[in-house]
Each structure stands twice: as structure tokens, then as C-alpha cells.
A and B are shown apart, each in its own frame.
Chain A
Amino acid sequence: MQTLKNNWARFLGEVLILVVLFTLVQYLITTGLLNQYYQINLTSMCINIILAVSLNLINGFTGQLSLGHAGFMALGAYAAVIMTNMMDQPFIVGLLAACLVAGIAGFVIGVPTLRLKGDYLAIATLAFGEIIRVTLQNIDYVNGPAGILGIPKLTTWPWLFGAVIITILVVVNLINSSYGRAIISVREDEIAAELMGINTTKYKVLAFVIGAMFAGLAGALYAHFFYIIKPETFNFLKSFDILVMVVLGGLGSTTGAVIAAVSITVLTAALQSFPAIRMIIYALILIIVMIYRPQGLMGNKELSRQTLGRIWGGRK
């Protein structure tokens, strides 16, 4: 009974923190204290969090190296824009269509490719991502390489906040369920998992589809904030960007992914006016972190109230 009460108190506390955070930012936006520049970076931050957390489900928890995340993002962006811009549907329909299309693509791509392992899987997903991009470039309905202009700006802070919370909730709860334990067992030792009677293909595809759906969601939010989408935006370098966030944060750590997504967005914004130097610093950070801390910032641990409490109390 006592633990149940504690759980409730914790849950209410967490909800309260989120509500305060949400209202505070909403207040800052409506009063105009958070200007256009900060809003752009806030949006990028939220989108990067969704991308990093969802890719972390595939790469970190399931252990399947995917380099095609930008492809799913592109599909989501295009699906949502076709819904809102060309068929005059409300934004929510666009978002759902984005998730659906990216999820279906994740299934179609995942079933054959997830039979491959390690490097080969990485290459195959990279190739699929590029095929999605090149195909979009050749479809006249979406203006080919020029992309779609004049997308209505529908992505607002409530949508972003909601999407981030849903992504994190789904991933965290999935990992803490029996599905999640099966998924982690696939990462730890696929053969042993199979011997224990786990249908490894099923769980790999499941994680891949969920990851792809959230990438699609991120793409839809991206498209409806930045006014323009073109296939070139979603090339494999974008996939690398997301992968970098996941690896810097620590493979298999959701909080790590969030922290890395936030810090990389801040770094990008801070060095906006020196593009070449920014990329050089970015590259050096990658190399140095990999050499001195290959498990990433958080390893596969989570930043929780317990760990915070330990640091606060100064106990080991």
C-alpha cells in the first residue's frame, strides 16, 4: 500500500513538473519573450529529441544498426504535407498519416533487411534511406528535387511538447514491459534469445516499425515548421546526425539521447555563423568522445531521480 502511494505521489510530481515546464514555455512564447530565433531552436530541439529517442530504440535497445532514419523522416514529412497542403485535411490527420506511412515503410523495409546483421544491416538501411530520397526526387507530384514550398506553419509548442512526451512515454514503457525485455535480450545475445523461445525477428521488426513511426512524426513536425521540404534535406548525412546524437548520449539510454539531442542543437545554434568551424568542432567532438568514452555520455544507464539523488547526496 505504501509503495502504491509513493508511486502515485511520484507520478503526480512528474506530471506537475511537465505541466509547469509546458506552461512556462507557452507563457514565454505568448508574451513574446521567446523570440523567433529561440523558437526555431526550441523546435529543432524537440524534433531532434524525437528522432534520437526513436533511433535509440532501434540502435540502442534492439542493437540493430540502422542508418536510414532520415528516409523515414522524409516519408513522414511528405505524407503529412500531402495531407495538409494538398488535400486540406487538419494537422492531426497529417501527423497520423505521417506515422502510418513511415510505419508501413518501416515494416516493408524491416522484414527483409533485419535478417542481415551488423555492418550489412547498416549498409542496407543506408541504401534504403537513399532510395527513398532519390525516389522522392523523381516524383513530379511532390515537385521532385525542388521540393514543396509554402507549407502552412502548423507546428506549435503544444504539438511539439505533446509529440516529445508521447515518444518518450511509448519508448520507456515499451522497454520496461515484457516486450522490452525481449528486445533487450535480442541486443545482448540474439542466438541465446532465440534459444529461449523469443521470436527475434518479430521483436526486431516491432522496434524498427515503432522507431520509423516516430521518425515520420518528427518529419511531419519539421515540415510544418520550416515552410519548405526538399528531398536533399533528408540525405544520409541527416541520418548520421541522428546516429551521432544517439551514440554520444549512450546507446540504450533514453535520457542520454535526450541530453545529447539538446546539447547538439545548442552547439549547432551557437556556432551558426561559422558553418565550417562548426562542422570541424562537431567532427572533433565525435572522434574524441569515441576514443575516450566509446560508450557515450550515459553508457546504457538512465538519469533518474535515484542517480540524481546520489549525486546530490554525494554518496557513491
Chain B
Amino acid sequence: MLEFIQQLINGLSLGAIYALIALGYTMVYGIIKLINFAHGDIMMVGAFVGYFSLTLFGTNILVAMLAAMLVCAILGVVIEKVAYRPLRNSTRIAALITAIGVSLFLEYATIFALGPAQKIFPDSAFVVRAYDIAGLSILNKDVFVFVSAVGLMIILQYIIKWTKTGKAMRAVSLDQEAAVLMGISVDNTISITFAIGSALAAAAGVMVGVYYNTVNPLMGIIPGLKAFVAAVLGGIGIIPGAMVGGFVMGLLETMVSGYGNSLYRDAVAFGVLILILLIKPTGIFGKDTGEKV
């Protein structure tokens, strides 16, 4: 039982990271119906910004995270303006291919600039301590990841539910034409969505750096895919769904590596995806809208 709770605690911090990345996927999908394959790579850029802010400028971890969020928010807006906006009225597949192109560009531009080797996150930035509480060993990095992720999610919920911007985002994702008629600037709203989503991914990137202690140019691919599965699991386009999906994926992954064969942990993630798609493609929180002729 104690071991189970220990796995649960390990899973929560990983789940929080997945949830943060999944939020970006789901927000972008909700608003322009695009699977943003570059999202995992934005997380990677965030992790590198965090890394350089720690090593070159010697900032503390919170400042590094804020810097990463700021840089990636701008990056997200630029990517949307340059690559996705011209394609808003073309086919889905064209937009999807562009997203793949952006993803490859970010990965290999980073490799070109910094080399393919992985970089070690400085230890001094975050001194890992373990606390013994009732027989459980709790690492302060797990607590840090979990608390800051949940904090960011609360801020996101506040923005979406209680501010005018959030209202505009919900309106645009519900019906773009009607939103235009109500005087909402669709372009600005989409830009803000990309900014927020990318900032969350950047925060997740810095957390991955703290969690796994290394960053490398291709680190965004697998967490990106898993977060994407999380977003689909919760119902893509639905924000609470992404949070729940992220935590489910994180817990599932630690349980599989803890109790079963860790080689299968990626297969399990995709198995979950297949199951959910076959049983309820709209996800846990999704509503079946039916098909209009």
C-alpha cells in the first residue's frame, strides 16, 4: 500500500507536466482545430531558455521559468502569424503538414545552433532534498513541479472563466463567425491563445529540466505525443479534460514502470489512446455533437 502511494506521488508531478503541455494542445485545437505538432518543441525551446537563464545569467529557478514563458509566448505568437495564419482557410491536412514542418524546423534549428548533445541542468539551480513523511519519501522537486503546475492551471482557469480575454477565447472556439459579429477580434484572440498555450508549455519545459535533470533538442517529441494523448483522453478542445487527461497519463505511466515493464510504458500510452478513440472518440469530457449533412 505504501509503495502504491509512493508511486501515486511520483505520478502526480509527471502528470502535472503532461497536463500543462496538454493544455496548450487543447487550447489551440479548440480555437483553430489544428493539432499543433510543434507544441512539444516549443516546450523544448522553453527548457533551453530556462537552462541558459540559469547558467548564463545565474537567475533562480522561478525567474528562469518566467523568462522561458515570456520567450515562448512570443515564439508561439510568431509561429502562428508566420506559419499558421496564412493557412487558416485551407485544408486541415495542409495546416497539419505545416505544423510538422514547424516542429522539424525548431528541432533542427536548435541542433544546428547548440549541437545535438544533451545538456545537464545545473544542480545549484535546484537543490534536491528528500523528506520522509510517514514512511514516504517526498522529493522537493516533485512538490515544486506539482505546486507550480497547479498554480498555473488555477491562473489559466481564472483567465478563461473571469476575464474578457477568456470570454473572447471561449466565444471564438464556439463559433468564429458569430464572434466576429459580436466585435471580437478573432486574430488577436488566436494570438493570445497561442501565447498562453506556449507559455504553459515553456513552464512545463523548465519543469522537465528540473525533473529529469537534462535538456536536449529532441526532448519535446515524446512528452509532446504523450501530452497529446492526454488531451485526446480528456476530450480535445476541453480545458478541464486536458488537466484530468494529463494526470491520468502521468499516473498510468509511473504505475506501468513501477509494477510492470517500463519498456511497455510508451505502448500503454498509445493503447489508451486507441481504446478511448474506439470507445468514445470525443474523450472523457466530450459531448457527442452528431453529424450535420
Contact = CB atoms under 8 A, between A and B. Distances in A.
B155 interface: no
A283 B270 contact: no
Given A124-B274, A283-B101, A290-B98, A116 B86 contact: no
Given A119-B92, A138-B261, A290-B87, A280 B98 contact: no
**Chain B interface: which size bin?**
35 or more
Contacts, number: 118
Among A59, A122, A134, chain B packs the most CB atoms within 10 A around the CB of A134
B96 A122 contact: yes
A284 B106 CA distance: 11
A222 to B, nearest CB: 22
A103 to B, nearest CB: 20
A284 B101 contact: yes
Contacts of A116: 277, 281
A276 B112 CA distance: 6
A59 B94 CA distance: 12
Contacts of A123: 35, 228, 232, 273, 277
A184 to B, nearest CB: 16
Given A112-B278, A138-B263, A291-B86, A131 B271 contact: yes
A284 B112 CA distance: 14
A65 B93 contact: yes
A280 B281 contact: no
A15 interface: no
Nearest to A60: B93
A113 B277 contact: yes
B158 interface: no
Nearest to A288: B101
A244 B103 CA distance: 13
Contacts of A272: none
**Chain A interface: which size bin?**
35 or more
B101 A286 contact: yes
B243 to A, nearest CB: 19
B270 A244 contact: no
Given A118-B92, A119-B92, A279 B107 contact: yes
A282 interface: yes
B263 A131 contact: no
B277 A290 contact: no
A147 interface: no
A302 to B, nearest CB: 20
Q: Is the interface of B mostly helix, strand, loop or mixed?
A: helix
A278 to B, nearest CB: 8
B156 to A, nearest CB: 23
B93 A291 contact: no
B102 A287 contact: yes
B266 interface: yes
Contact of A283 (B92, B104, B271): B104
Contact of B98 (A135, A277, A287): A287
Given A279-B107, A283-B102, A287-B83, A131 B274 contact: yes
Contact of B108 (A113, A138, A280, A290): A280
B134 interface: no
A280 B112 contact: yes
A194 B200 CA distance: 44
Contacts of B92: 65, 118-119
A283 B267 CA distance: 28
A291 B87 CA distance: 6
Contacts of A134: 263-264, 266-267, 270
A152 interface: no
Contacts of A226: none
Contact of A284 (B105, B261, B291): B105
A290 B102 CA distance: 11
Contacts of A138: 261, 263-264, 267
Given A122-B96, A286-B100, 9 more contacts: A123-B232, A134-B263, A134-B267, A138-B264, A279-B107, A280-B108, A285-B101, A286-B101, A291-B86
